[in-house]
Amino acid sequence: MLHIIACCKWVIDEVYIKRGRGEEIDFSSVDWKISDYDRHALEEAVRIKDSLGGKVTVLTVGAENAVKGMKDMLSRGADEGCLIKDESFARLDPAVTADIIAHAVKSRLSPYDLIFFGDGSSDLYARQVGPRVAAKLGISCLTGVRKIAFKDGYVEAERSLEREIEIVQAPLPVAITVLPEINTPRIPGVKDTLLASRKPVLNLSSCDFPDYTVPAVRTVAIKAVRLDRGCVFFENNAGGISSLVEELKKKGILS
Amino acid sequence: MDFKLTEEQELIRKNMREFCEKYVDPIAAEIDEQARFPKEVFEKLGAGDWMGIPVPTKYGGAGSSYLTHIVAVEELSRSCAASGFTLSIHVGIVEMLLLLYGTEDQKQKYLPPLARGEELGAFVLTEPGAGTDVMAAQTEITRDGDDYVINGTKTFTSNGPNAGVYIVFGWTDKSAGRKGMSAFIVPKGTPGMRVGEHFQKMGIRASQTSEMIFENCRIPKDNLLGKEGDGLAIAMTGLDHGRIGIAAQSVGILQAALDESIKYSKQRIQFGAPISRNQAIAWMIADMATDLAAARFLTYHAAWLKDEGKPFSREASMAKLFAAEAAMKHTIKAVQIQGGYGYCKGAKVERLMRDAKITEIYEGTSEAQRMVISGSLLR
Ligand SMILES: Cc1cc2nc3c(=O)[nH]c(=O)nc-3n(C[C@H](O)[C@H](O)[C@H](O)COP(=O)(O)OP(=O)(O)OC[C@H]3O[C@@H](n4cnc5c(N)ncnc54)[C@H](O)[C@@H]3O)c2cc1C
């Protein structure tokens, strides 16, 4: 029986982020969502379970509000949850998140066959957690995956590279980070949402991770930038091109 | 006091929003134009348990609250007010009446296909001569052995052409006055029941409305809903529930009008600046948002009273009255904000304005709501 773990991040839904005064960002009326690519990761885990049998555990690391996120995740076909929450986990850097996940998987969720991640998160898109977890667990990691097939004892995956599709094989257990084209995530029905809170959840907090690494990255500030368009038009002739070059030099874009 | 929806209700709302963005928004203008019932949307809603939210799971529903259903109606109406109304009448009137008055056999027989969205429900009360004045109905239902026989003409039946289960009202004993009406469950295909004229409407065009004609329509006595003589009370209970749904439909329309108005007024440049910089426009939006908030609270409060098992008839009327009139008033403003573009097909506000009008008319006109509210205060 397969044990599939899907890792999902509960993030601010960017459509609600507004510009405040000056360089400030207004987070006052934001709503949260499952990070976009992670929804595909969870969907893939559930589809594999539905076709091959097994169990899906959805795992998230976050702050207090991740409780709601866990309900959302469980409404999408996962069987169990692993909720690792702590106020200090609100803005973790990817290295620390990976430490925590790897520790939880090793100590609480083993044995496992597959761990799914989104290729990158909607907020940071650092694309680190998947590969780092795999490294810590000492398993292979297939990134940028857009299709998966099961063969005897191993998986075959299509990876989307810049110019080509690479077909790779890896033995289980394996970590896989997925691209959105891998599937279309379901929209949970009403019952799925109502039943989510009845599914078993393993609750962990910072006390369960006595020696997770100190963050390597410290967020000093988050600022809004404004992109001002110059709307300067140049003639489509030799004169126009040289004035374009002049203009770009003036702005320090060309030297 | 607690003004919060539960986390589940918030997630359910979000899922409905996503459902609408995917399946409803892309066709909403087209089904309005073509006056087409979006069967494919309702099949999907059925599969996602949206068609029986407050119906207990043992009858095929989702087993949640009336408020959850109301949130779903609001969110669906924001994308397509006609579809929101179809959902409202199906769940809020037909399923609720079966739940409240049906025998165990009737519930087991009729609720599961309705809750799964395999059949649509219809509420068949209004007649050509009996709109606001329900007592002026002419439809007669006579007992004949183990059967009843219905004769009469009903009009403005929503889902008339495409329902599977009809709740039909008529006189079983006209001499008994308010205790002389009865309600019956009539399944589609019953001989003697047929669909009459289809109405071409100003708004909610994706909801089908027709006459229903009953000529010696024979139904077994097992199809009596409640007791003989309960008809009027059943109709009023149905409308009490349904009105919260119409209030929610109005709230959805208002939210859409506000969304459109904010978006457009920030983009449209006249005199070198977005029109939203003019106080005249900005204040329209302020009033719209304020009435929307008030309408939403009245609506949720009425649904909450219902879920708490408290009396809610007056509050349902208040919510419906206020939300409907606010929807009409502000969709006119939303068109005004978009000027000539808002008056043309293709602008969502044009449809919103046409759709809003019906909320002041059906399930009791605004005048009828004022009669209910004042009646309850001045008794
Ligand atoms: C699109 C649509 C869908 C509908 N769906 C259904 C349905 O599914 N099932 C169903 O049974 N019915 C349905 N109806 C009927 C609807 O509920 C009635 O149209 C409504 O109750 C008003 O009745 P009426 O049209 O006969 O207007 P009337 O009752 O003739 O009213 C005309 C006007 O007079 C006013 N008025 C009437 N009496 C008074 C009074 N005593 N004091 C002050 N003013 C008064 C009214 O408020 C209104 O402004 C639907 C109607 C429409 C248009």
pLDDT tens readout for residues A154-201: 999 999 998 999 999 999 999 999 999 999 999 999 999 999 999 999
Residues A102 and B111: their CA atoms lie apart, in Å, by: 48
Mean pLDDT of chain B: 98
Position of tokens 């957690």?
A129
pLDDT at B298 exceeding the cut of 80:
yes
Q: Is the CB of B169 under 6 A from ligand 1?
A: no
Q: Which residues of B touch A (CB under 8 A)?
A: 7-8, 10-12, 14-15, 18-19, 22, 47-50, 53, 57, 62-64, 68, 72
Position of tokens 């077994």?
B220
Bridge partners, A201 (sequence order): A81
Q: Is the CB of B223 under 6 A from ligand 1?
A: no
Residue A158 CA, ligand 1 centroid: distance in Å: 62
Residues B259 and B28: their CA atoms lie apart, in Å, by: 16
- Would you say A29 and A115 are in contact if contact means Cβ atoms under 8 Å apart? no
Pairing of strands A114-118, A25-26: unpaired
| Per-residue pLDDT reduced to its tens digit, B243-292 | 999 999 999 999 999 999 999 999 999 999 999 999 999 999 999 999 99
| Per-residue pLDDT reduced to its tens digit, A94-150 | 999 999 999 999 999 999 999 999 999 998 888 999 999 999 999 999 999 999 998
Residues A151 and B101: their CA atoms lie apart, in Å, by: 57
Closest ligand 1 atom, CA of B158? 8
> In testing the pocket of ligand 1, which one of B139, B195, B321, B361 has its CB within 8 Å of the most ligand atoms?
B361
On whether ipTM exceeds 0.95, the answer is no
Q: Domain B233-378, what architecture?
A: Up-down Bundle (1.20)
Query: Looking at residues B340-362, what average pLDDT do you find?
Result: 97
- Atom 2 of ligand 1: nearest residue by CA position: B156
Contact yes or no for A68 and B64 at CB 8 A: no
Number of Cβ atoms within 10 Å of the Cβ of A23: 12
End-to-end CA distance of chain A: 62
Residues A29 and B366: their CA atoms lie apart, in Å, by: 35
User: Nearest to residue A188, comparing CAs of B67, B18, B24?
Assistant: B18
Alpha helices in chain B (DSSP H): 7-19, 25-34, 39-47, 66-79, 81-87, 96-101, 104-115, 231-267, 279-307, 313-337, 339-342, 348-359, 366-378
pLDDT of res. A225: 83
Chain A residues within an 8 Å CB radius of B62: 189-191, 194
Closest partner residue to B48 among A33, A187, A197, by Cβ? A187
Interface test with A, best of B6, B11, B58 (most A CBs within 10 A): B11
- Atom 12 of ligand 1: nearest residue by CA position: B126
pLDDT of res. A88: 85
Q: Is the CB of B359 under 6 A from ligand 1?
A: no
* Contacting residues for A172 by C-beta, under 8 A, at least 6 apart: A113, A114, A153, A154, A155
Residue ranges per domain, chain B? 7-120, 122-231, 233-378
Contact yes or no for B64 and A194 at CB 8 A: yes
Residue A35 CA, ligand 1 centroid: distance in Å: 48
pLDDT of res. A213: 67
pLDDT of res. A167: 97
Residue B193 CA, ligand 1 centroid: distance in Å: 23
Chain A residues within an 8 Å CB radius of B18: 187
pLDDT at B309 exceeding the cut of 80:
yes
What separation in angstroms does the CA of A197 have from each of A72, A163, B6, B8?
Answer: 9, 44, 12, 9
Residue B361 CA, ligand 1 centroid: distance in Å: 6
Within this chain, domains B122-231 and B233-378 share the same CATH topology: no
Q: Is the CB of B131 under 6 A from ligand 1?
A: yes
pLDDT at B171 exceeding the cut of 90:
yes
Closest partner residue to A71 among B11, B68, B72, by Cβ? B11
Residues B153 and B163: their CA atoms lie apart, in Å, by: 17
- Atom 5 of ligand 1: nearest residue by CA position: B158
Residue B364 CA, ligand 1 centroid: distance in Å: 6
3-class SS of residue A255: coil
- Atom 48 of ligand 1: nearest residue by CA position: B365
Chain A residues within an 8 Å CB radius of B67: none
Distance from CA of A192 to the nearest CA of B (A): 9
pLDDT at A252 exceeding the cut of 90:
no
Domains and CATH numbers, chain A: 3-208 (3.40.50.620), 228-255 (no CATH)
pLDDT at A226 exceeding the cut of 80:
no
Q: Which residues of A touch B (CB under 8 A)?
A: 31, 33, 67-68, 71-72, 75, 187-194, 196-197
Assign a CATH topology to domain B122-231: Butyryl-CoA Dehydrogenase, subunit A; domain 2 (2.40.110)
End-to-end CA distance of chain B: 29
Number of Cβ atoms within 10 Å of the Cβ of B196: 15
Contact yes or no for A193 and B72 at CB 8 A: no
Contact yes or no for B11 and A188 at CB 8 A: yes
Percentage of chain B lying above the pLDDT 90 cut? 99
> In testing the pocket of ligand 1, which one of B37, B83, B126 has its CB within 8 Å of the most ligand atoms?
B126
Hey, what are B238's tokens?
């149905």
pLDDT of res. A23: 86
| Per-residue pLDDT reduced to its tens digit, A8-39 | 999 999 988 888 888 889 988 899 999 999 99
What separation in angstroms does the CA of B142 have from each of A139, B123, B125, B170?
Answer: 78, 20, 17, 9
Burial tier of A186 (Cβ tally within 10 Å: 0-12, 13-18, 19+): middle
Query: Looking at residues B295-308, what average pLDDT do you find?
Result: 98
**Residue B363 annotated among the catalytic residues of the structure:** yes
What separation in angstroms does the CA of B119 have from each of B86, B114, B161, B244, B254?
Answer: 12, 5, 12, 22, 29
Residues A168 and A145: their CA atoms lie apart, in Å, by: 10
Chain A residues within an 8 Å CB radius of B7: 67-68, 71
DSSP letter assigned to residue B130: B
Assign a CATH topology to domain B7-120: Butyryl-Coa Dehydrogenase, subunit A; domain 1 (1.10.540)
Closest ligand 1 atom, CA of B122? 8
Contact yes or no for B62 and A72 at CB 8 A: no
